[in-house]
């Protein structure tokens, strides 16, 4: 890294990080004021409260397009870029650097690289840490802010479009999905969703060596030749049953966890796999899922685009022009946020295509930022 790059980063990172920490603390305090009575009433342990707010900034809300940190970080980086460049412009340092033959666009490269790295970091976190943190916060709220041990799902129903099966599970733990209690699986005929071919009812189902084992189980076959009656054939078979994964059940414990979790608490890979495995879900549900999927991928790039918007405004020479440009950049950022939230709302309302609703604002303001960057003098 060149000396000039390190100098520019020293001017840019401290105010950006100061804004990031300050806005995060403000957001946390405001939320705490609104929920402190709940914590006191429920007797939530202090350590649980600290953990809650440590995770809350990275929590995905099903009805919002981004996590709190994704909302805060672009504003912080925009203000950091505006302040750093305004300071350099005020002391004529940018003019001196350019007089030594360094192009203005080359001077802005460190700011863009750091913004890009933060966007990549957020995108990586949304595929690793953030989904689990979001699910933990959601589970904590459901348990009245009491410490979460095993996250147990009760009375869970799941329709597998891939296998044409209906799962009814009395109880299973999200962190231990290899063991299910009170299981009933109904195989449905492909041409008629109400016709059954067989039913297995088991006290316990366990996943071993890529296959399901049903313990203390009862299996009943049904007559599929008569569409009107669809009566049981013979007597139920009572035994411990093994059902090969490739034979008639392709759903794994991971698939059950994916179906049990809130859609917004899944990783992008899990979302894509679910949509591929369940092509028979309704068009409305598929569009709603795709809106969240596209939004998940698009939102991390807000930091880069916000910095692109801030650089041309901060690098303007002249005190009066700089003040006008700063207000103009902040107004442009709020317009960017408004476009994102509007697109997300229209996508959820089935008015806009999922791709358009998630990406239109980012593409428009990315192009605008690049145009403004190349028009800098």
pLDDT of residue 236 exceeding 70: no
More confident residue, 157 or 94: 157
Q: Is the pLDDT of residue 168 over 90?
A: yes
Residue 149 pLDDT > 80: no
pLDDT > 70: percent of the chain? 88
Is pTM, for the whole model, over 0.85? no
Q: Is 80 exceeded by the pLDDT of residue 261?
A: yes
In the prediction, which pLDDT does 302 show?
A: 93
- pLDDT of 353 reads 93
Domain ranges of the chain: 3-143+293-374, 163-250
Residue range 170-191: average pLDDT?
86
Query: pLDDT, tens digit, for every residue of 285-306?
Result: 899 999 999 999 999 999 999 9
Indicate left, alpha or beta for 317 from its phi (over 0: left) and psi (-120 to 50: alpha). Answer: beta
Query: Which range is least confidently modeled, 39-48, 125-134, 222-231?
Result: 222-231
Q: Are 202 and 220 in contact (CB under 8 A)?
A: no
How do residues 265-290 score in pLDDT, each as one tens digit?
A: 899 999 998 888 888 788 888 999 99
Mean pLDDT along residues 307-328: 72
* 218: β partners: 201, 238
Phi, psi of 281 (to 5 degrees): -65, 160
CA nearest neighbour of 341 among 106, 65, 67: 65
Query: What CA–CA distance (Å, rounded) separates 69 from 84?
Result: 22
Q: What is residue 192's predicted lDDT score, i.e. its pLDDT?
A: 54
How far apart are the C-alpha atoms of 84 and 103, rounded to whole Å?
18
Confidence of residue 187 (pLDDT cuts 50, 70, 90): confident
The β-bridge relationship of strands 152-160 and 232-244 is: unpaired
* pLDDT at 230 > cutoff 60: no
Backbone φ and ψ for 43, nearest 5 degrees, come out as 70, 40
Beta pairing partners, 153: 172
What pLDDT is stored for residue 364 in this prediction?
95
The crossing angle, in degrees rounded to 10, of helices 253-260 and 268-277 is 100
Q: What share of the chain is helix, strand, coil (3-state, %, to 5)?
A: 60, 20, 20
pLDDT at 237 > cutoff 60: no
Band of the pLDDT at 330, cuts 50, 70, 90?
confident
E strands, 150-285, are 152-160, 165-173, 176-189, 192-208, 211-222, 232-244
With cut-offs at 50, 70 and 90, classify the pLDDT of residue 229.
low
* % of the chain with per-residue pLDDT over 90: 28
Q: Is the pLDDT of residue 203 over 70?
A: yes
| The predicted structure's pLDDT at residue 7 | 87
The order of strands in the sheet holding 152-160 is: 152-160, 165-173, 176-189, 192-208, 211-222, 232-244
State the average pLDDT for the chain: 84
Residues in CB range of 137: below 8 A, 6 or more apart: 52, 55, 56, 59
Q: pLDDT confidence of 208, banded at 50, 70, 90?
A: confident
pLDDT at 226: 58
- pLDDT reported for residue 119: 93
User: Of the candidates 282, 270, 293, 267, which has an alpha carbon nearest to the alpha carbon of residue 347?
Assistant: 293
Tell me: pLDDT of 91 over 90.
no
Closest CA to 97 of 87, 106, 109, 84: 106
- The 3-state DSSP class for residue 228 equals coil
User: CA-CA distance, 69 to 119, in Å (whole number)?
Assistant: 11
Strands 176-189 and 211-222: unpaired
The reported pLDDT for the residue numbered 336 is 94
Write the DSSP string, 292-344.
Answer: HHHHHHHGGGHHHHHHHHHHHHHT--SHHHHHHHHHHHHHHHHHHHHHHHHHH
* Model confidence at 114: pLDDT above 70: yes
Least confident among 141-155, 162-176, 215-229, 362-376: 215-229
Q: How far apart are CA 219 and CA 244, in angstroms?
A: 15
Q: Using 50, 70 and 90 to split pLDDT, how confident is the model at 239?
A: low
By three-state DSSP, how is residue 19 classified? Answer: helix
Q: Please, which pLDDT band fits residue 232 given cuts at 50, 70 and 90?
A: low
Asked which of 114-128, 170-184, 208-222, 351-365 is least confident by mean pLDDT, the reply is: 208-222
């Amino acid at each position: 890294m060149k000396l000039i790059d390190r100098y520019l980063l020293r001017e840019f990172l401290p105010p950006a990080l100061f804004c990031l920490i300050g806005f995060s603390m403000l957001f946390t305090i405001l939320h705490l004021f609104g929920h402190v009575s709940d914590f006191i009433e429920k007797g939530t342990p202090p350590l649980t409260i600290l953990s809650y707010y440590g995770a809350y900034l990275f929590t995905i809300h099903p009805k919002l397009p981004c996590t709190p940190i994704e909302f805060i970080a672009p504003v912080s980086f925009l203000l950091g870029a505006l302040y750093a460049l305004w300071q350099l412009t005020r002391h004529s340092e940018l003019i001196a650097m350019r007089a030594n033959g360094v192009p203005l666009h080359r001077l802005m490269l460190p700011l863009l690289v750091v913004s890009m790295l933060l966007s990549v970091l957020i995108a990586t976190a949304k595929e690793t840490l953030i989904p689990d943190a979001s699910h933990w916060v959601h589970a904590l709220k459901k348990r009245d802010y009491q410490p979460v041990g095993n996250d147990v799902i009760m009375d869970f129903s799941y329709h597998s479009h891939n296998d044409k099966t209906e799962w009814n599970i009395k109880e299973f733990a999200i962190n231990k999905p290899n063991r299910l209690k009170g299981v009933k699986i109904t195989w449905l005929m492909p041409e008629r969703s109400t016709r059954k071919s067989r039913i297995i009812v088991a006290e316990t189902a366990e996943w071993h060596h890529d296959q399901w084992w049903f313990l203390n189980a009862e299996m009943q076959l049904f007559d599929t030749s008569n569409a009107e009656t669809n009566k049981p054939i013979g007597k139920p078979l009572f035994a411990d049953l093994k059902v090969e994964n490739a034979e008639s059940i392709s759903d794994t414990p991971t698939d059950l966890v994916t179906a049990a979790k809130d859609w917004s608490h899944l990783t992008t890979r899990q979302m894509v796999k679910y949509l591929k495995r369940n092509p028979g879900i309704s068009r409305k549900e598929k569009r709603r899922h795709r809106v969240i999927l596209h939004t998940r991928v698009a939102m991390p790039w807000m930091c880069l685009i916000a910095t692109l918007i801030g650089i041309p405004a901060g690098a303007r020479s002249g005190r009066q022009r700089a003040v006008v440009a700063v207000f103009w950049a902040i107004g442009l950022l709020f317009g960017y946020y408004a476009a994102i939230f509007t697109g997300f709302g229209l996508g959820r309302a089935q008015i806009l295509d999922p791709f358009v609703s998630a990406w239109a604002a980012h593409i428009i303001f990315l192009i605008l930022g690049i145009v403004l960057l190349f028009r800098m003098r």
